[in-house]
Amino acid sequence: QVQLVESGGGLVQPGGSLRLSCSTSGIIFSSYDMGWYRQALGKQRELVATITRAGSTNYAGSVKGRFIISRDGAKNTVYLRMNSLEPDDTAVYYCYARHSILRDYDYWGQGTQVTVSS
């Protein structure tokens, strides 16, 4: 079966850094575009960053210049390096995979909590 498992969340102080990981299994990783989404308490889920199978990236304006998405084909893992964290970054972060061609084949992870607070 397909599994996306996030890790690396936790409590950090404003200005700190954190790296999230999304380990995948059950998919041909190189065929999938990947992304990170987040959902803050009381708000809708929103796009954070995407990376295509070819390595092209896009970021939400609120995180551009602070966050970096990357992928490691040897480990079937996508990462989100978060720098200069702010309280507004507090949310559950979700990993997302979508087949680059057969786009109805898409999957979500369970999410990992990131809390930015003093």
What does the pLDDT look like over 72-84, one tens digit per residue?
A: 999 999 999 999 9
Nearest-CA neighbor of 71 among 27, 37, 26, 21? 21
Nearest-CA neighbor of 48 among 33, 34, 63? 63
Summarised one tens digit per residue, pLDDT across range 66-118 is: 999 999 999 999 999 999 999 999 999 999 999 999 999 999 999 999 999 99
Structure token pair of residue 2? 């397909």
